[in-house]
Every structure is written in structure tokens, then in C-alpha cells.
Chain A
Amino acid sequence: MTPRRLGGVLICLAIGLYFAILPSHAEEAGNAAREVGGPTISGILVDPQDQPVQDASVRVLAEDQEPVAETETQSNGSFAVVVPADTLHASLTVDIQRPHFHSMRYELGADEVDTLRTGGAFTLPVHALERRITLGFWIAAITFIGMLALIAVDTFHNTLAALVGAAALFISSYLGAAVDSDFFIFDFERSLHYIDWEVIFLIMGMMIVIAVVEGSGIFQWLAYFAYRISRGRPWLLVIVLMVITAVASAFLDNVTTMLLMTPITVQIALALEMNPWPLLMPEVVASNVGGIATLVGTPTNILIGSFAGISFASFLINLTPGVLMALAALAIYVQIIYRRSYRHATAASPELEERLRKNAQITEPEDLKRAGWVGLGMLILFLFGDSIHLVPAVTALLGATALLVWIQPDVEEMIEAVDWTTLVFFMCLFMVVGGIQEVGLIGYVAELIGRIVGTNLTLAMVLITWLGAIMSMLVANIPFTAAMLPVVAFLSNRIPGAEGNMLFFALSVGAAMGGNGSLIGASANMVTAGIAERVGYPITYVDFLKQGFPAMIVTVTVGTLWLLFRF
């Protein structure tokens, strides 16, 4: 199958799955709203973290243990089951079962049955189901850790690692459960509930926007502009490059920004007869930090924003000042550690300067102008769309469509430019993280962190920021962030004063800034190192660590101070 066809199939698949899910949401809403008449037993089930338990089987058993009525809990954990009048003889038992929880039974006494007999309703007290550690629990946990390890050691493609993870969960749930029900994790339908389609469509829309913009030469022109206004003085050049990279990364993804900035930066460095890394390292660090400022700046922010319902404007207001402070601290840091390289640089020859100018020309000025107008429109919708319930994913799709209609590039080429492997990675990642959520592992982690921080909001904020930073340095920050979202939600509900999404902002700061700590901490680092290596300037893991880890400490410290000040 050609990539084009594969892309088309995946689009259809994604849209099909999205609409396949819609009726179940509508059904839930309908059930919740429907008035239940006749003798009714209702209740709400929660897990040990007070989160609603969905899809639990609720059966009403007669004296002979034969079921006389049954239902399932809704997304809010509620259930209401109508008991047929002819079965209301003596005693009734409510039997509740859910994989990964201990089953529960509630015996209705004579008075309660009498209430039902008169056509009344009986509501069970809110009940917290106890978790049960099954074989599926261990398989889901090992699968998640294994997926992180495969991504970290880079022996498997990220998408393949996530696919293998999702496949392992299904093998356990279907083949394993056929042998022993303890292997069950979740069924396919349930796994689809964990896929955040808003994230998928937002990333897809932004990829199309980027595909249109990236061929315009704007990045190369901006880098050359930095060279011109700094007059080739490296200490000033690096600051201008950092600002450009940070701003670009706030609106486009970091990998694209660095893919396009690295080649021209290498050329500028070579023209100045200096090693490119004293320019590249500040750029990539600024890229990772700059992305934090907006909802669309990093994949982790997209995950956080979609999960917690944080708007574009909210990210901008709450995190941009911290990002600016961190960039200022970084600017000082790079001036100190690269001072000798900057001092030893020489002026570029007129021939090389001319070559730089030619290489940095805007190739599609008319397209760029149109993209600028569409980008402005998207920014306005991102900022104010929340007031009309316009989700960012729709804004991204509208922007992508507007660009394709107005500029009319080769549509197939643009669609091919969508990185389908990344989208499949996200879908499978959501399933694997859903697996550990389903079996209760995330609940245990949340409980553990909850015990450590108690009700201390400051401690929680500092812990989440630094845990996020350290973990993102060691393992891929996207799966880590995806797994931490329910944990942070739990802590936000439990700790007094944690409203306002402050703990989610702490996760955003930690996860993105932590990526600066090591070569494998962020995809942008790997891409930059890959290009630099290809032009003869490789960097080792240890050398990156020597320069990146202090940068991480500096930025995370500044980020933490900002969060503590802001909240």
C-alpha cells in the first residue's frame, strides 16, 4: 500500500472511530437524563481515589440467585435499575462486578423491598469498590514499563513500541483471558474510550499547517536576519536565535522548528569558523522551553490541555512569564559556558555571507503572506474560541483547511506530509496508558504521591515539577505525561487550593523543561544531534548531559519559582 493510500485509510479509520464513539456518549447522556419509573434501585460507584467507576455490571438477584434485572454504571459511576414488580417477593440482592475490583453484594432488607413494592425507589449509599490486583495488572504494568524502555533505548521505532504495547494488552485480554479470566485488562471497545481524539485531530491539523509553512523559507530567513542584526557577533547572535526559536516553538512543534533551524544555524556557525554546538545547544534548549508557553507548543501541553480542559489563553497567561524568565536565565547560562567559542569566532568572508543570504531567501512570499493571515486567524480562534466552546482541534482543522483552500498546494502532497506514524503512536500510547489506568496502577501511584504530599499544595507543585523534569530526562516525556494526567487530576481534587489547574501547569513545566537534561529527553534534541552529526559535528550523550543538565536545573528552578509566585 502506498503512503498516500495508507494515509487515506488511516484518515477514514480515525474519523470512523471518532463517530463510532459518539453514540455511546449520547447514550450515556440520554440514560442519565431519563426518568426511571417503577421500583428502582440506584446508586453511585467510585474507586478508592473517589473517581467514578464506569461499566460495572449491576445485577439484582432474587432469592434463588437468579438475576431479575441488570444494568451497567455510566461514565459518572451512577446506575439505576428497574426491578420487575412480579419479582419483588421476599429479599433481593444487588450484585456488583467489575474487572480489577473486588465484587460487592448488598442485601436489601424487608423494609427496602417493601419500598420497592410500593413503586418507590431505593438508593444505595455511595460505595467505593476495592481494587483487586490481577494477572492483568502485572501484564499492563510490565507492558507500560517495557514500552518506555523500548523507546528509551531506541531499538524500536516509537510507534512500533506503542503498537507492541497495545498488542500485548489485547493478547492478554483476549487470548490470555480465554485461559484464565485474571488475564483480562480491557476489551477493544473499552480501550477506544481512552483515545483522546481531540489530541489526534489537533496534532493532525497542526501538521498540515506546518507542511504548508515549512517550505516557505521563513525559518532560514529568520536565522539569517538574526545573523544580520547581530552583525555576526556570536554572543548577540545566540540570544536572537534563542528568541526566534522559542517563539517559533510556541506555535509550531519543536521538532519541525529544529529541523528547519539547524541546517542554517550550522551554516552560520561554519561561516564564523566556530563549532555549531554553542549555537545549536542554546537553540534546542530554547525550543524546548519556548514550547511551554502555548497549548500547541509541545505534545505534552496538547495532552495536558485536552485532558484538563485548559484553554490556549490560560497557558499563555499562566506560563509565558515563567518561560520568559527561564529564557533570560538561559541566555546568561550560555554566555558563561560558551564564552570562549563566542570570543574565538571570526567574521564571515563576503563570499560566505553572500552564500548565506542566498540560502536564506523566502522562496514562496505570496504563500507565506497568506499563511500569516491564516495563522493570525488561528491565533484569534485559539485565544477566544473557548467562549463559543470551539475546541483547539477544530481551530487547527479550520486553519489547515483554510490554508489548503487559499494557497491550493498539491493537496495529496500536504496530506502525505502528515506524520501518520506519530498519530498511530499517540493512539496506541493512549491505549497502553488506558491499560494501566484500567487495572488501577495509576490509582496506586496517585495514592502514593498523595500520601507523600498530604494536603501540602506547595510540596505537591514542587514534587510534580521536579518529578516531571527528572522522569522526562530519563524516559520519553509524552508517555510519562499521559500516565501522569489522571494522577495530577486526583491530586488536584484532593489537595485544598489546587483548583485552577496549577498542578497541571507544574506537570507542563517539568515535562517540557526536563527534556533539556539529556540527549534522549526530547525529540528535538535527537533531531538536532542527528543533523549536526551528519555534517560532521556529533555530540555524545555525556557531552549533551554536561551542557544540557545544568540548563535543565536552571530552567526548572526558575520555572518552579514562577509557579510558586503565580499560584
Chain B
Amino acid sequence: MRILCAVRGGPRSQGTVTRAVELARERDAALTFVYVVDVEFLGYATAGRPRVMLKELRSTGEFMMEILRNRVAPQGIDVDSIVRTGDVRRQITESVRWQDAGVLVIGRPVKGRGGHSTFTEKSLAEFVEQIEAQTGVEVIAAETSTAPAEVEKDDAVS
């Protein structure tokens, strides 16, 4: 059995990663992290250079995945990672199919400060319903870590 864990990186993904590792251990399953590069959010700033930006963000995604693998592997879990490019929903769905995953772990929308989540509670529920129907995968929406980023904790300007 394979568990697919969709991550964005950063401290807020910690909760999702922890949940996926727990599940992999409980079910004695292999774990695959998936990171999706999507430059649409940059809008006009990358209008003329999506090729270069995709390459750079892909490289950063692979770097993050390597760090994740290095952290999880010593816990005795069979772990690997994939980096995909394009629309987040479609790429996660295709990853589930390609990896023949039995479980998908995905982070719930961020409740803390800062940033925009890929999903809202409503759109996540819709996505879960849709991907379950399309692929038959079991989806677990993990609580996202709401701990502020280190920079806010350590270096708050007083």
C-alpha cells in the first residue's frame, strides 16, 4: 500500500507530514510526498518568463522534497517524493492514479495568519468528494500546523 502526502513546504506542512508518517507506520505503507509547482499565482510578473520560473521553482521543490525524505527515512519508512507541474487539483489527482495510492493525506486550509491556502474548507470538501469518486482513494485531511513561522517567533520586531 502507498500513502500519498501532498505538501506545500514550510512549518505549516509539519502537521500534514506528521500525520502521513503516523499513518505509514500504522499501516506499514510506503510514503510518497508530492509537491506541485504552479506559477499561475505570480500572474503578470512572470508573463514573459514562465519557463525559467518553472525550472527554478521545480528545483526548489525537489530540494524541499530531499530534505523531507532525509527527515522521514531514518524513522524506518519507505519514502520517496515526486514534483509535478501545473494545476494543483489535477496534479494531485493524477499522482494518486500514477502512484496507485490507497490513501491521500492533504493539509486543511490554514487558519493562522498570512498567505492564501490552495483550498478553502468548502473547496477542499468538494475536491475530496471529487477525487474519492474518481480514484477511490481514501482522503485524510490533516490539521495544518498553525505555529507561526520561525522568523515571527524569533525575530519579532518589538
Contacts and interface: CB of A to CB of B under 8 A. Distances in A.
Partners in one complex: yes
A275 B10 CA distance: 8
A416 B7 CA distance: 33
B47 A421 contact: yes
Interface in A333-365: 337-341, 344, 349, 351-352, 355-356, 359
Interface stretch (A42-50, A382-390, A525-533, A557-565): A525-533
A390 B9 CA distance: 49
**Which of the four size classes fits the interface of chain B?**
35 or more
A159 interface: yes
Contacts of A339: 155
Contact of B70 (A211, A274, A349): A349
Interface string A75-86: 000000000000
Interface of A: 157-159, 207, 211, 214-215, 220, 255-256, 259-260, 263-264, 266-267, 270-271, 274-275, 277-278, 337-341, 344, 349, 351-352, 355-356, 359, 416-422, 523, 526-527, 530-531, 533-540, 542-543, 546-547, 550
Nearest to B37: A534
B45 A523 contact: yes
Interface stretch (B58-66, B98-106, B122-130): B58-66
B8 interface: yes
B60 A267 contact: yes
A531 B63 contact: no
B11 A536 contact: yes
A546 B157 contact: yes
A531 B40 CA distance: 11
A331 to B, nearest CB: 16
Interface of B: 7-13, 37-38, 41-49, 51-53, 56-57, 59-61, 63-64, 66-67, 70, 110, 113-116, 149-152, 154-157
Given A270-B64, A277-B149, A537 B44 contact: no
B48 A419 contact: yes
B66 A277 contact: no
A214 B149 contact: no
A63 B3 CA distance: 96
A538 B114 contact: yes
Nearest to A537: B10
**Nearest 6 CB-CB pairings of A with B:** A536-B10, A538-B115, A536-B9, A540-B114, A263-B56, A538-B114
Contacts of B66: 351-352, 355
A527 B57 CA distance: 13
B42 A340 contact: no
Contacts of A267: 59-60, 63
Contact of B42 (A531, A538, A540): A531
Contacts of A416: 48
Contacts of B53: 259
B133 to A, nearest CB: 28
A314 B61 CA distance: 43
B152 A543 contact: yes
Nearest to B43: A157
A259 B56 CA distance: 9
A404 to B, nearest CB: 15
Contact of A550 (B10, B11, B46, B157): B157
Nearest to A418: B48
B77 to A, nearest CB: 18
A278 B49 contact: no
A207 B114 contact: no
A420 B152 CA distance: 38
A535 B8 CA distance: 6
B56 A338 contact: no
Contact of B12 (A158, A526, A536): A536
A199 B11 CA distance: 43
A550 B8 CA distance: 31
A536 B38 CA distance: 13
